[in-house]
Amino acid sequence: MKKRHIFRKLIFLVLLLVLICFACSYLYVKMSPKLRINTANNLALYDNNGEIFFKGSQSKEWVKLDDISDMVIKATISAEDKNFYKHKGFDFLRILKASIINIKSGSNVQGASTITQQYAKNLFLTFDKTWKRKWDEMLYTMRIEANYSKDEILEGYLNTINYGHGKYGIENAAKFYFNKTAKELDLAEASMLVGIPKAPAKFSPLIDLEAAKKRQLIILNLMVKNEAISEEEKNDAYNKDLTFVGKDSEEEASSVMYYQDAVTKELESLSDIPASYNDSNGLKIYTNLNISMQKKLEQTIKETIPEDVSIETSVVMMNPNTGGIVALIGGKDYDKSTYNRALLSKRQVGSTMKPYLYYAALENGFTSSSAFTSEETTFTFENQEDYAPKNYNDKYGNKPISMGTAIAYSENIYAVKTHLFLGSDALINVARRVGITAKLEEVPSLPLGTNEISIIEMAAGYAAFANEGYKIKPHFIEKIEDGDGKVLYEAENNKELVLNSSLTFILNNLLTATYDPDYIDYNYPTAISLSAKLKHKYALKSGTTNSDNWNIGFNKDIVCAVWAGYDNNKSLTTSDYKYAQNIWYNAVEFYEDGKTDEETWYKKPQNVTAMFVEPISGRPANETDEKKKLMYFIKGTEPSSTDATFDEIASKEYAS
């Protein structure tokens, strides 16, 4: 009995303490200034020309509650907060019930947030999941309830929630999905839309109609339970065939949502932004987005990849001098998949790994003419299995070939020999210096791209070649201002010199061999089909695995990295390998339209000299050679006709 008495006392004291806390909190919020819910957390995103391309949190078309369908209102209240008009911001019985259910299930399966709490969370709070955020959420909920009527709160909520595909607010959602106003929505349409905000990427009918219908039925059943509609009305609404428009009345690039998602992700990581946007009167976020380039990418992908092909793609276009991302594609169709492959996916990079190796080789005494024999080779190691890499299509020259030829054909034998000659740490060291953080295994196949790296990291790595030696940090946001014009954040665009500019000049010129007809011999350069198409000069490298296809190319203006493959790692067909190259070619030529090579290509450093060589072997050209190629060398390292071929016959160090 004594223990029970003590327990009751503790319960009473806890409840009393809670009541005192809430009483003090309500007194605090009554004395606090009125919140500005019409501007709080209003995010306006600007492109590189200072034009708004996205306006989040606040609907572009705010509608009064009287101009919203009664079915939307009833469905929202039934689904989200049936006691909305009865409580003061918190539904304590619902919280208790949800807590009991979650404790019994051992997981967070039941939510208890009211509409006011959700509104506060969307408007005023930062992205972290701390106890401070929970406390702030409670205070903001109280302040909203203290300053605004229930109708004003509901109106604001319906005008600011996310209905998927970048559509904030019920009016925008109604027009996007059904080409109707919010007032014109019937029960079937309303119950479909109200089901989306719980998980827009999952319950959008444009992404997964089956999941959306299941969610719609849950909404309708809740409406019946709350006596908002009859059983017959529920059945009629559920069985009604809905026609989805899925586009805006004005022309917009849906792929820009991949860019917007990336901006939001970067925003979350910035410590300079206030925990609550309320005090900043909204935010103006200035980005590096080139909206014309973004639209061109989307158009090119639609024209390149047939609609009935399930292959996916991602693209990153970056200013190599600043790291600013000018365009980004996270998937073939944002309306069908919001997964941002450009940021989140890591794939085998294939031969796009080789430029890191060849820079390491140039740094360690190799030249454009350094030669290894192209032939079938089995490498034998102590205490390891033999390794026998193959060239694509099993084509071998059976003769010494230059580094230029190895790059042109993407020779695997030459790459592995170079890698083993230098030691695996040489390639890894260069990759780390330019910003590659992914796991890199010290194995003979490393230069063949057997490790997985994200496309944005690869683009940043290539940027160090494109800007003649500087490591940069990829970013989307250039500047952030509050609603009053005060600058809250500016990108620093710091660059760190990590490579030799003369060697990057030599490597960049070697990477033009991939589409150079002078290298046609026992094989064809990997991008020879682009030879007659390209109007500008680029360094270019492709990468191919069974399930991944890459094209990464650049000049001093732009780095463009394109990946194509299947999300489930299904093997690519022969026709699948053309997509990445075509997307890359159309993108870079659009970006560089109107510019000359004098503006976009590199000037020869003073310590670099040029001489004509026979391109396949790399030896100095003579009068009898049919082909002569101007190649670049650090002064004093030019080949001579009396040089011994740099071949495994003369050096066996690699086979250790």
Give the mean pLDDT of 5-14.
66
Helix (H) or strand (E) holding 540: strand 539-544
- Residue 458 has what pLDDT? 98
Residue 553 β-bridge partners: 540, 560
**Could you give the residue ranges of the DSSP H alpha helices within 195-319?**
200-203, 209-225, 231-239, 256-268, 291-304
Predicted model pTM? 0.79
The answer as to whether 303 is a domain residue is: yes
Domain count, the chain: 2
Residue 249 has pLDDT above 60, yes or no: no
Dihedral, 450, 451, 455, 461 alpha carbons, nearest 10? -100
Single out the residue of 389, 398, 393, 499 nearest to residue 446, CA to CA. 389
If asked whether residues 214 and 312 sit together in one domain, one would say no
**In the annotation, is 351 catalytic?**
yes
CA separation for the pair 55, 292 (Å, rounded): 18
Tokens linked to 651: 């050096």
d(CA 153, CA 145): 8
Query: Is the Cβ–Cβ distance between 134 and 124 less than 8 Å?
Result: no
pLDDT at 235: 95
Do residues 372 and 514 share a domain?
yes
Active-site residue flag, 266: no
Dist CA 89 CA 73 (whole Å): 18
Interatomic CA distance for residues 565 and 545, integer angstroms: 10
- 472: confidence class by pLDDT, cuts 50, 70, 90: very high
Q: Beta partners for 471?
A: 496
Residue 206 belongs to domain with CATH number: 1.10.3810.10
Helices marked H in 184-230: 187-194, 200-203, 209-225
210 & 312 share domain: no
pLDDT at 63 over 60: yes
590 CB-side CA count, 13 A: 20
**Which position has the higher pLDDT, 486 or 358?**
358
Angle at 563 between CA 336 and CA 321, to 5 degrees: 115
314, 351, 368, 454: which is the annotated catalytic residue?
351
The CATH code of the domain that includes 351 is 3.40.710.10
Cα–Cα distance, 612 to 624 (Å, whole number): 13
Alpha carbon distance 628, 620 (integer Å) = 9
Q: In the listed set 252, 286, 313, which residue is the last one of a domain according to the structure?
A: 252
User: Are the CB atoms for 648 and 373 separated by under 8 Å?
Assistant: yes
Question: Shortest CA distance to 205 belongs to which of 247, 164, 257?
Answer: 164
Under a CB-based contact definition with an 8 Å cutoff, are residues 37 and 62 in contact? no
CB burial of residue 232 (10 Å; 0-12, 13-18, 19+): exposed
Q: What angle do CA 228, 233, 238 make, to 5 degrees?
A: 110
Structural domain includes residue 181:
yes
Lowest-confidence region among 159-173, 223-237, 474-488, 637-651: 637-651
d(CA 179, CA 245): 7
Q: Token pair of 81, please? A: 């907060």
Length of the chain: 656
Could you tell me if 648 and 654 are in contact, meaning their C-beta atoms sit under 8 angstroms apart? yes
pLDDT average, residue stretch 90-100: 57
More confident residue, 132 or 19: 19
**What number of helices (H) and strands (E) belong to the chain?**
22, 18
| DSSP-H helix ranges across 67-208 | 70-80, 92-105, 115-124, 131-147, 150-160, 170-178, 187-194, 200-203
Residue type, 20: I
The H or E element containing residue 489 is strand 487-490
Q: How far apart are CA 590 and CA 79, in angstroms?
A: 48
pLDDT score for 278: 45
Which residue type sits at 236? D
What is the 3 state secondary structure string of 43-55?
EEEECCCCCEEEE
DSSP 567-621: TT-PPPPGGGGGHHHHHHHHHHHHHTTT--HHHHSPPPPTTEEEEEE-TTT-PBP
Q: Are residue 313 and residue 248 in the same domain, yes or no?
A: no
- Among positive and negative, which fits the CA dihedral 611, 617, 622, 623? negative
Closest to 28 measured CA to CA, from 146, 158, 183 = 146
**123 assigned to some structural domain:** yes
Task: Say what the alpha-carbon torsion angle 64, 69, 73, 78 is, to the nearest 10 degrees.
Answer: -170
Looking at the structure, tell me whether residues 241 and 97 fall in a common domain. yes
Q: Are residues 376 and 449 in the same domain?
A: yes
Confidence label for 109 from pLDDT (cuts 50, 70 and 90):
very low
397 and 617 in contact (C-beta within 8 Å)? no
Please, is 36 exposed, middle or buried when counting C-beta atoms within 10 Å of its C-beta (0-12, 13-18, 19+)?
A: middle
In a domain, 115, yes or no: yes
Specify the pLDDT at position 164: 86
Pair (246, 312) in one structural domain? no
Q: CA 18, 20, 26: angle at the middle one, nearest 5?
A: 100
Is the domain of 490 the same as that of 587? Answer: yes
The alpha-helical segments, DSSP class H, found in 269-411 are: 291-304, 341-344, 354-363, 403-409
Please give the pLDDT value at position 656. 38
What is residue 627's predicted lDDT score, i.e. its pLDDT?
A: 92
pLDDT exceeds cutoff 80 at 107: no
Asked if 392 contacts 414 with a C-beta cutoff of 8 angstroms, the reply is no
pLDDT for 35-58, tens place per residue?
656 555 567 899 999 998 877 654
Question: Poorest-confidence range of 93-102, 371-380, 579-588?
Answer: 93-102
Tens of pLDDT along 493-541?
889 999 999 999 999 999 999 999 999 999 999 999 999 999 999 999 9
Residues spanned by the domain of 84: 68-252
Q: Does one domain contain both 571 and 424?
A: yes
- Mean pLDDT over 550-578 rounds to 95
Is the predicted pLDDT of residue 651 greater than 50, yes or no?
Answer: no
Whole-number percent of the chain with pLDDT over 70: 82
Q: Is the pLDDT of residue 610 over 60?
A: yes
Task: List Cβ neighbours of 225 (8 Å cut-off, separation of 6 or more).
Answer: 78
Report yes or no on 42 lying in a domain.
Answer: no
- pLDDT of 279 strictly over 60: no
Q: Is residue 228 part of a domain?
A: yes
| Same domain membership, residue 504 and residue 367 | yes
Q: Helix 501-510 vs helix 455-466: angle between axes, to the nearest 10 degrees?
A: 110
Distance CA 376, CA 398 (A): 8
- Domain annotation covers residue 415: yes
Task: Confirm whether 387 is domain-assigned.
Answer: yes
Q: Which helix H or strand E contains 470, and what residues bound it? A: strand 470-471
- In three-state secondary structure terms, 5 is helix
Cβ partners under 8 Å of residue 15, min gap 6: none
In terms of domains, do 245 and 302 share one?
no
- The answer to whether 325 and 570 are in contact (CB under 8 A) is no
Tokens of 295: 């639209």
Do residues 300 and 206 share a domain?
no
The residue to which tokens 């190895």 are assigned: 406
Catalytic residue (choose from 59, 80, 204, 312): 80
Q: Please tell me the distance from the alpha carbon of residue 317 to that of residue 246, in angstroms, as a whole number.
A: 27
Q: Which residue has the higher pLDDT, 108 or 84?
A: 84
pLDDT (tens digit, 9 = 90+) per residue, 121-174?
776 544 445 545 565 677 777 778 777 888 988 998 898 888 988 788 899 899
For residue 79, CA distances in Å to 64, 160, 171, 213 come to 21, 17, 19, 15
Q: What is the dihedral of CA 440, 444, 449, 450, to 10 degrees?
A: -70
Tokens linked to 144: 């909203």
Neighbours of 205 (CB within 10 A): 21
pLDDT, mean over the chain: 86
